[in-house]
């Protein structure tokens, strides 16, 4: 038994797996290209990059794979429009947008023949997305890492979203194994998005110590923290999150107004960049609730082969 394919508009991936776009600078061209080459949809995280840097990342991925490549860009970043146009010009297959809602991006993508896939947390936003021309929607549940737009679990949201739109619906949050993928597809999803599991792979641009935090994390280490974006965020406990929990916010050394709206309690871009650079004391390490179930750092191909094998085992178990 083979995993089903995933079709989003005119693009089809051999496997129903979308690699999460993890910012800042965790999901870059090496990871996205490896996932696309292995049959999934590889995603470059554009938030925190300049348009020139994003263009270079897309070109680098395109140079080594003819698989499906997308970008994930937060609507909340101030250069959202410039990043989307840079990604489109560089030749991406799809644009994923979350942390806000933009009507304009649907038109930009339609004009360019690029698939637009918003991240949604309710039936209302899913219906609105379909009306504006979305090619698919990603339903991100409370289990997800990074910024959270809902307090409902993915498998609770999924049936309601699939009933409300005539689009492929991709389930995100808490997906680590092939058995998790089967549960999501059995609940009506056309595919899944996986972030935390791909953060701890060889091709991920996270530093080794960052990946090891995922491997060592327990359920008690995964916490909800405050973000100046205005949404709660899920991360791995470290000295920075302990400070944030008691309102001891690090001073902002230099503000470049990277977000359209910012509470300015602290500079989240600075903290995400620090983590990607290996500073796990003052850096912010976003992770999903499933990070506690990540126990190794495989190559992307080894991971994809494992997911397919786990999928088959789960299907055989259900059939027996």
Identify which has the larger pLDDT, 320 or 190.
Answer: 190
pLDDT at 84: 96
For 90-105, the pLDDT digits (tens) are 999 999 998 888 899 9
pLDDT at position 1 over 80: no
For 159-201, the pLDDT digits (tens) are 999 999 999 999 999 999 999 999 999 999 999 999 999 999 9
**Mean local confidence (pLDDT), 282-289:** 93
117: buried, middle or exposed (CB in 10 Å: 19+, 13-18, 0-12)? buried
Closest alpha carbon to 16 in 137, 199, 192: 192
**Mean local confidence (pLDDT), 286-311:** 95
pLDDT at 318: 65
Cβ-Cβ contacts under 8 Å for 292 (sequence gap 6 or more): 217, 218, 219, 221, 222
pLDDT at 254: 84
Cβ-Cβ contacts under 8 Å for 237 (sequence gap 6 or more): 220, 221, 222, 223
Percent of the chain whose pLDDT exceeds 70: 99
For 232-266, the pLDDT digits (tens) are 899 999 999 999 999 999 999 888 778 888 889 98
pLDDT at position 229 over 90: no
pLDDT at position 320 over 70: no
Q: What is the 3-state composition of the chain as percent helix, strand, coil, each rounded to the nearest 5?
A: 40, 20, 40
The tokens for 309 are: 């094998």
Q: Where are the domains of the chain?
A: 13-205, 208-290
pLDDT at 223: 94
**Mean local confidence (pLDDT), 26-50:** 96
Q: Is 177 left (phi over 0), alpha (psi -120 to 50) or beta?
A: beta
pLDDT at 149: 81
Q: Is the pTM of this model over 0.85?
A: yes
Geometric angle at alpha carbon 233, from 178 and 133, rounded to 5°: 70
148 pLDDT band, cuts 50/70/90, is confident
Helix (H, G, I), strand (E, B) or coil at 9: coil
pLDDT at position 313 over 80: yes
For 118-141, the pLDDT digits (tens) are 999 899 999 999 999 999 999 998
pLDDT at 230: 84
The domain made up of 13-205 is a member of CATH 3.20.20.70: yes
Which helix (DSSP H) or strand (DSSP E) does residue 233 occupy?
Answer: strand 233-236
pLDDT at position 319 over 70: no
**Mean local confidence (pLDDT), 288-298:** 93
Geometric angle at alpha carbon 308, from 304 and 312, rounded to 5°: 170
For 39-83, the pLDDT digits (tens) are 999 999 999 899 999 999 999 999 999 999 999 999 888 899 999
């Amino acid at each position: 038994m083979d995993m089903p394919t995933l079709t989003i508009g005119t693009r089809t991936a051999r496997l129903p797996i979308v690699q999460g776009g993890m910012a800042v600078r965790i999901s870059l061209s090496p990871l996205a290209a490896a996932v696309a080459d292995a049959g999934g949809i590889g995603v470059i995280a554009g938030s925190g990059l300049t348009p020139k840097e994003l263009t270079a990342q897309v070109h680098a991925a395109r140079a080594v794979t003819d698989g499906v490549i997308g970008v994930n860009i937060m609507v909340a970043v101030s250069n959202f429009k410039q990043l989307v146009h840079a990604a489109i010009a560089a030749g991406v297959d799809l644009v994923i947008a979350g942390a806000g809602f933009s009507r304009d991006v649907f038109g930009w993508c339609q004009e360019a023949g690029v698939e637009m896939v918003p991240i949604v947390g309710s039936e209302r936003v899913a219906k609105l997305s379909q009306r504006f021309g979305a090619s698919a929607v990603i339903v991100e549940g409370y289990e997800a890492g990074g910024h959270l737009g809902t307090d409902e679990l993915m498998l609770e949201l999924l049936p309601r979203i699939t009933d409300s739109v005539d689009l492929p619906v991709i389930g995100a949050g808490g997906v680590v194994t092939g058995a998790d993928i089967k549960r999501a597809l059995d609940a009506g999803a056309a595919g899944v998005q996986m972030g935390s599991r791909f953060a701890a792979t060889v091709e991920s641009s996270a530093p080794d110590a960052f990946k090891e935090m995922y491997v060592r994390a327990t359920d008690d280490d995964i916490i909800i923290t405050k973000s100046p974006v205005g949404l709660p965020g899920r991360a791995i406990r470290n000295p920075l999150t302990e400070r944030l929990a008691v309102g001891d916010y690090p001073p902002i050394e230099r503000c470049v107004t990277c977000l359209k709206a910012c509470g300015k309690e602290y500079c989240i871009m600075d903290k995400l960049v620090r983590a990607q650079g290996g500073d796990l004391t003052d850096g912010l390490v976003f992770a999903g609730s499933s990070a506690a179930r990540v126990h190794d750092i495989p190559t992307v191909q080894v991971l994809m082969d494992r997911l397919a094998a786990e999928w088959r085992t789960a299907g055989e178990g259900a059939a027996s």
